[in-house]
A and B are shown apart, each in its own frame.
Chain A
Amino acid sequence: MKMKMIQKLTLAAAVASLAMATAFLPAGSARASAEGPELHEVDWSFNGPFGTFDRSQLRRGYKVYKEVCATCHSMQYVHFRNLGEPGGPEFTGPEVKALAAGYQVQDGPDLSGDMFERPGEGKDVFPAPYANEEAAAASLGAYPPDLSLVAKSRVGGPDYIHALMIGYTEAPADVTVPAGGYYNPYFTAGSGIIAMPPPLSDGQVDYDDGTPNTAEQMSQDVSAFLMWTAEPKLEARHRLGFQVMAYLLALAGILFFATRKIWADQH
């Protein structure tokens, strides 16, 4: 009787969780697939419970970001120092210093009350290419979104970014692309019309680690880099997650047998 009921309730819980899963999970994918083409799922190195970033990929991705994306896009939550921290591209201290110094940042006021420019340091965030959203929109036709969190603020995350980078096609006959716009079926937010020109072409960025610099490769590299900028603690999360899971499983095991033993005289 009791067992039967427990079975039933377990079944009900399974049904309930299944219903919940169907209720919430497809909400995102339905939105994506209803309007845009299906995203190709890349086998990222950071997928899965033990996933880690590929350092060389992050470094290549950073190069693509710096030479291509940074012309228009800001990255306001990322500091130069982050590039040298564990779990990221892990540039060395001198490398971080050198690449920060390549930027001029505004500081001040100095003792006479004037703002001044100085070379960037690890503590600084990446300077934005435009003074504000309005300036960027006035110059480019639309505001290019900040890239710090873009891999978490779009359905599909890095898969979406990758698909978007190389997803430009000829517009279908029934779609009129306005002047200064481009057609990209993955850009569902604009119903396929995007102000950003196709950003990547084969051979555009020179890779110094021998990786072929195809548009496909560069797109994957920069998508992985943007996943890191959005979730810089991903590796620490996976590592701590494993320790917590191991602890909890052991604890649950001990408590299971403790419960059985303590209740033994009642059954």
Chain B
Amino acid sequence: MSGNSTYNPSNGFTRWLDERLPIMRLGHDTAVSYPVPKNLNYWWTFGGILTFMLVAQIITGVVLAMHYVPTTALAFASVEHIMRDVNYGWVLRYTHANGASMFFIAVYIHMFRGLYYGSYKAPREILWILGCLIYLLMMATAFFGYVLPWGQMSFWGATVITNLFGAIPLVGQSVATWLWGGFAIGDPTINRFFSLHYLFPFLIFGVVILHIWALHVTGQNNPAGVEVKNKEQDTVPFTPYATVKDAFGLSVFLIMFAYFVFYAPNSLGDVENYTQANSLKTPLHIVPEWYLLPFYAILRAVPSKLGGVILMFGAIAILFVLPWLDTSKVRSARFRPLYKQFFWLFLVVCLVLGWCGGQMPDNVLFSVGGVDIIVTHLARVLTFYYFFHFIVLFPLLGLIERPKPLPESIAASVLGGKTAAAKA
């Protein structure tokens, strides 16, 4: 859909500029004339929301970095300095800290939307892979960032995660020492985590540009999952249609964001992180932030440390090959009666895995005939399903499922929905 450019320089300067650096043309083609399938629903506004969140995190983060001190002795105190003495420092920090959670809420919705509507399938494999790469970079960035306030959970979270690399055979301990910059987590560690936490968002920004580029080559998927056949009938120009719709979606999202920042700023964090890091005092219950809990549950579900690490990273790695695991030619779950049910099951599995990650692994869920079923047992079943879903069901469903008839075109699917919409 990288059709011919419709940009028309309106005056002498823009004509002059266009012949030298067609940046106005790029902007016009990307955000004004770009054709958007007219049947997109509000689940498609999360790309714009994510772009906004990335920029918001970078801006608040750059200002926070002006006041933050990355040393073990001063990091915690410098955060309190931001909260107490920097003008509007508390808004900046609460926005940045909760912004990370909002960023992940948005990215999870964005990813599950892709899973539901088959947005990862040809010709959008590269688009999907770039998205997975952004997600991976986001998790690394969030992890580095969580260490910086140097609270108890920062320190012990960093200890758990960096020790995972110690599970690598032969070189594990050397890798851990290399990551720490010493024989334990200390000043070199916090300083390099700060450096990387500042760097990674710009890597994300770079991959986002590739992600949007790939998107604009293939065009957007849509709820019907059929390609654009007739640009006139099937699409509308990005501006004003998608612009205003994305802006409305974003404004609603921001209301939720503002609720957390102003009325529940610490509800998504752990109370332990308001106590300064103490390497001699291990918290009773070490947990990562909520958005990493499903992976933490997978890690703890495996009895062997190396096995747990492999499955945890495998759970992310498998996302990269989804386009080739799915054998179904039909994209949208709307027309895939079997897949649709398993999609919802998978969503529930991920949420319950997250719940497991936040619990003490030995907590007893229930007893059957004198045998205690604990959180770890549940996490094992769910971990099994997580991989079963992708490795077995994805190839299998495409072969055994009888999809419903697809609409002729996007325009036809919109017209088909018109009567229902009118009734509602």
Contact = CB atoms under 8 A, between A and B. Distances in A.
B334 A16 contact: no
B91 interface: yes
Nearest to B91: A240
Nearest to A245: B258
Nearest to B357: A23
Assign chain A's interface to a size class: 35 or more
Nearest to B417: A2
B83 A233 contact: yes
Interface in B237-274: 240-241, 244-245, 247-248, 251-252, 254-255, 258-259, 261-263, 265-268, 271-274
Contacts of A154: 271
Nearest to B273: A153
A97 B254 CA distance: 43
A58 to B, nearest CB: 16
Contacts of B245: 259, 263
A1 B415 CA distance: 11
A233 B248 contact: no
Contacts of B348: 19
Given A244-B262, A245-B262, A255-B244, A1 B268 contact: no
B255 A20 contact: no
A245 B421 CA distance: 31
A238 B223 CA distance: 40
Interface in A38-84: 49, 77, 82
Nearest to B94: A237
A237 B241 contact: no
Given A153-B275, A248-B251, A240 B358 contact: no
Interface in A14-52: 16, 19-20, 22-25, 27-28, 31, 49
Interface string A252-267: 1001101100110011
Given A2-B420, A31-B285, A255 B275 contact: no
Interface string A211-236: 00000000000000000001011001
Contact of B358 (A27, A148, A263): A27
B344 A20 contact: no
B182 interface: no
Interface of A: 1-6, 9, 12, 16, 19-20, 22-25, 27-28, 31, 49, 77, 82, 145, 148-149, 152-155, 189, 230, 232-233, 236-238, 240-241, 244-245, 248-249, 251-252, 255-256, 258-259, 262-263, 266-267
Given A152-B266, A255-B247, 11 more contacts: A19-B351, A31-B284, A31-B285, A152-B274, A153-B274, A230-B274, A237-B91, A238-B262, A252-B248, A258-B247, A262-B241
14 contacts: A9-B43, A19-B355, A23-B351, A148-B80, A153-B273, A233-B84, A240-B262, A245-B255, A248-B251, A252-B248, A252-B255, A266-B236, A266-B414, A267-B421
